[in-house]
C-alpha cells in the first residue's frame, strides 16, 4: 500500500522527537520515502502534508485532546499522527473534506489496525461539526502558536516585543529566494527573463543578487538553472558573502561549508580569489558542495575535517578571511524546516553554545593579523549569537568587532540580527545573526 498519506505518516514517524538520536530531519525523511511513490502528484501531496502537519502540530494536538475521549496508547502513535494529518487537511489545506476523511482513515487499515478506521472517521467528522467552537478555543490557548512550551518561553524572554511575530512567521511558508550569478547575467536581465517565462518576481532590497518569486516553483522551471545562471538561497543567507567581502588574491576558508551556497556565492562575488577552502566534517554533505560547484562551473579546495580540531587538516598557512557559519539550533529557519520546533530541546542550546565557542577559538588561530572572520548563525537566540561573541571577546586580546553599517536587521550586541518574516523594508528573510571580527596586533 503506497499512498501519499501513508508516506506522510512514515515521514512524520521518522522525524518524531521520541526517537532520540534515531530521529531523522524532515529533509532526510522525505528523501528516504518520497521516491517510493510512483506518481509525482502523490509525492507532492505527501510533502505538502508533512510540512503542514509539522507546522501545525501543536494546534492539531489541541484539537485531538478535545476530540478524543481518552488518549491513545504510545503504541498507537501512528494513529494519533494520522488524526493530526486528517485535521490539518480539514483545517489548513484546500482538500475536499470527503477525501481528507476517507483517504486518511483508510491508511489505518493498511497498517493492520482496522479498529482505528471508525475512530479516525469519527474524530474528523466531529471536527467538521465542532470546527467553529474548536478554532475559537484554540485562539484562547497557547497551542495557537503551535510550538513547544520551552521555545515559547525562551522567545518571550529573549524577544519580549517580537516573540508573537516570530511564532507567527514560523507557521508560514517561507518565500522562494533566488541568487543571480552576476558573472553570467544581471539581475535586471534575469527578472526580464522570468517575466517572459510567466514567472512573477521582484528584486530583493538586501542583497544585490537577490530575487523573490511570488510563487515557489521547481528549480527545473527556472531559466538557466542547470547552466548556473541562478541558485536558490534565502535573502538573509545571501548577506554572508557580501559582508565578508572577498578580495582578489586572498586565501579564504569557508568553515562548516556544506551544502555550499555561501561557498559558491563567495566565488561568484570574487572570481580572482587565490584559494578558497570549503571545510565540513561530513563527506556526505560535502558531496552537495561538489554538486553545486559543478553546476555553477566553479572550483575550490574541498576538505573533510573538523573546524574545532584544525590540527587534523590545516596545512599551516593562515587565511585572509574566514566565514564561520557556526553550528546552531537553526531556530531562525523553522518556517523552512518545521521539524526543528519539535526535534530541538531546551538543553540543546547550552551544548551547541559550547561548540560554537570552541570552533570560534579554533578558527581564529588560522586568521592572519588584519584578517577578518564573519561569525554567522541561522539562530535568533542571543545565547548562540551576541552572547557568544561577548563572552569570546573577553578571552582574546587580538580581536575587535567591526560595526556593520547596514539598513537591515537590528543591532544585537556587536552584531546584527535578522528575525524571520517580513521586515520594515518589505524584505522577507530567514532569521540570521552576523558579526564581523578583525584580528588586531597585540
Looking at the fold, whether 224 and 300 belong to one and the same domain comes out as no
Looking at the fold, whether 185 and 265 belong to one and the same domain comes out as no
Looking at the fold, whether 250 and 195 belong to one and the same domain comes out as no
221 C-beta neighbours (distance < 10 Å), count: 11
Residue 413, Ramachandran bin (φ over 0: left; ψ between -120 and 50: alpha; else beta): left
Q: What local confidence, expressed as pLDDT, does residue 1 receive? A: 53
CATH number of the domain within which 223 lies: 3.30.70.1170
303 found inside a domain: yes
Torsion of CA 123, 128, 132, 138, to 10 degrees: 40
246 found inside a domain: yes
Q: Among the three residues 120, 144, 168, which one is the final residue of a domain in this structure?
A: 144
9 found inside a domain: yes
65 found inside a domain: yes
Looking at the fold, whether 204 and 285 belong to one and the same domain comes out as no
Q: Running DSSP on this structure, what letter comes out for residue 247?
A: -
CA 347 remoteness from chain centre: 20
62 found inside a domain: yes
Which are the catalytic amino acids? 378
Looking at the fold, whether 291 and 408 belong to one and the same domain comes out as yes
161 found inside a domain: no
Looking at the fold, whether 262 and 337 belong to one and the same domain comes out as yes
Q: Among the three residues 144, 165, 188, which one is the final residue of a domain in this structure?
A: 144
Q: What local confidence, expressed as pLDDT, does residue 423 receive? A: 64
* Closest of 255, 256, 247, 294 to residue 274, by C-alpha: 247
CATH number of the domain within which 294 lies: 3.40.50.150
Q: Among the three residues 214, 232, 250, which one is the final residue of a domain in this structure?
A: 232
Q: What local confidence, expressed as pLDDT, does residue 240 receive? A: 98
Consecutive sets of 10 residues in the chain, 442 residues long: mean pLDDT of each? Answer: 89 78 88 95 97 97 97 96 98 95 96 97 98 97 96 98 96 96 96 96 94 95 96 97 98 96 98 97 95 96 96 95 97 97 94 97 97 98 98 96 94 97 77 98 74
Looking at the fold, whether 27 and 102 belong to one and the same domain comes out as yes
| Number of domains, the chain | 3
Q: Is 65 helix (H, G, I), strand (E, B) or coil?
A: helix
CATH number of the domain within which 16 lies: 1.10.940.10
427 found inside a domain: yes
For residue 248, give its domain range: 239-439
Looking at the fold, whether 273 and 376 belong to one and the same domain comes out as yes
- DSSP conformation letters of 13-49: HHT-GGGGGGPPPHHHHHHHHGGG--SHHHHHHHHHH
CB-based contact 324:363 (threshold 8 Å): yes
Looking at the fold, whether 271 and 243 belong to one and the same domain comes out as yes
Dihedral angle sign, alpha carbons of residues 397, 399, 402, 408: negative
Q: What local confidence, expressed as pLDDT, does residue 215 receive? A: 95
Looking at the fold, whether 262 and 391 belong to one and the same domain comes out as yes
368 C-beta neighbours (distance < 10 Å), count: 15
Q: What local confidence, expressed as pLDDT, does residue 427 receive? A: 79
Looking at the fold, whether 19 and 91 belong to one and the same domain comes out as yes
Q: What local confidence, expressed as pLDDT, does residue 18 receive? A: 53
Looking at the fold, whether 306 and 362 belong to one and the same domain comes out as yes
- Per the DSSP assignment, residues forming a β-bridge with 324 are 255, 375
330 found inside a domain: yes
Amino acid at each position: 500500500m503506497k499512498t501519499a498519506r501513508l508516506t506522510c505518516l512514515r515521514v512524520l514517524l521518522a522525524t518524531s522527537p521520541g526517537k532520540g538520536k534515531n530521529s531523522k530531519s524532515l529533509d532526510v525523511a522525505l528523501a528516504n520515502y518520497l521516491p517510493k511513490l510512483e506518481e509525482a502528484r502523490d509525492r507532492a501531496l505527501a510533502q505538502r502534508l508533512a510540512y503542514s502537519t509539522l507546522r501545525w502540530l501543536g494546534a492539531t494536538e489541541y484539537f485531538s485532546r478535545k476530540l478524543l475521549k481518552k488518549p491513545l496508547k504510545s503504541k498507537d502513535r501512528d494513529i494519533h499522527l494520522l488524526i493530526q494529518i486528517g485535521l490539518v487537511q480539514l483545517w489548513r489545506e484546500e482538500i475536499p473534506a470527503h477525501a481528507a476523511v476517507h483517504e486518511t482513515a483508510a491508511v489505518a487499515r493498511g497498517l493492520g489496525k482496522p479498529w482505528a478506521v471508525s475512530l479516525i472517521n469519527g474524530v474528523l467528522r466531529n471536527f467538521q461539526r465542532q470546527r467553529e467552537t474548536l478554532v475559537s478555543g484554540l485562539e484562547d490557548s497557547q497551542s495557537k502558536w503551535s510550538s513547544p512550551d520551552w521555545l515559547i518561553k525562551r522567545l518571550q524572554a529573549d524577544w519580549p516585543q517580537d516573540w508573537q511575530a516570530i511564532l507567527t512567521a514560523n507557521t508560514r511558508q517561507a518565500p522562494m529566494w533566488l541568487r543571480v550569478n552576476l558573472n553570467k547575467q544581471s539581475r535586471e536581465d534575469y527578472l526580464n527573463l522570468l517575466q517572459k517565462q510567466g514567472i512573477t518576481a521582484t528584486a530583493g532590497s538586501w542583497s544585490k543578487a537577490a530575487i523573490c518569486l511570488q510563487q515557489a516553483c521547481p528549480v527545473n522551471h527556472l531559466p538557466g538553472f542547470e547552466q548556473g545562471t541562478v541558485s536558490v538561497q534565502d535573502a538573509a543567507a545571501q548577506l554572508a558573502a557580501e559582508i565578508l567581502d572577498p578580495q582578489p588574491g586572498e586565501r579564504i576558508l569557508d568553515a562548516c561549508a556544506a551544502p555550499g551556497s555561501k561557498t559558491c556565492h563567495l566565488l561568484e562575488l570574487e572570481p580572482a580569489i587565490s584559494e578558497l577552502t570549503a571545510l565540513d566534517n561530513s563527506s556526505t554533505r560535502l558531496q552537495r558542495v561538489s554538486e553545486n560547484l559543478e553546476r555553477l562551473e566553479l572550483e575550490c579546495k574541498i576538505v573533510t575535517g573538523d573546524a574545532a580540531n584544525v590540527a587534523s587538516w590545516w596545512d599551516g598557512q593562515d587565511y585572509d578571511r574566514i566565514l564561520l557559519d557556526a553550528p546552531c539550533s537553526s531556530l531562525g529557519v523553522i518556517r523552512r524546516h518545521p521539524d526543528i520546533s519539535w526535534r530541538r530541546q531546551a538543553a540543546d542550546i547550552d551544548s551547541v553554545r559550547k561548540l560554537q565557542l570552541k570552533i570560534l577559538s579554533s578558527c581564529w588561530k588560522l586568521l592572519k593579523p588584519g584578517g577578518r572572520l564573519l561569525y554567522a548563525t541561522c539562530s535568533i537566540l542571543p545565547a548562540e549569537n551576541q552572547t557568544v561573541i561577548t563572552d569570546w571577546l573577553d578571552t582574546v586580546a587580538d580581536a575587535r568587532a567591526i560595526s556593520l553599517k547596514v539598513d537591515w536587521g537590528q543591532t544585537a550586541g556587536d552584531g546584527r540580527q535578522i528575525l524571520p518574516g517580513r521586515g520594515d523594508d518589505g524584505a522577507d528573510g530567514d532569521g540570521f545573526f552576523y558579526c564581523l571580527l578583525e584580528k588586531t596586533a597585540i
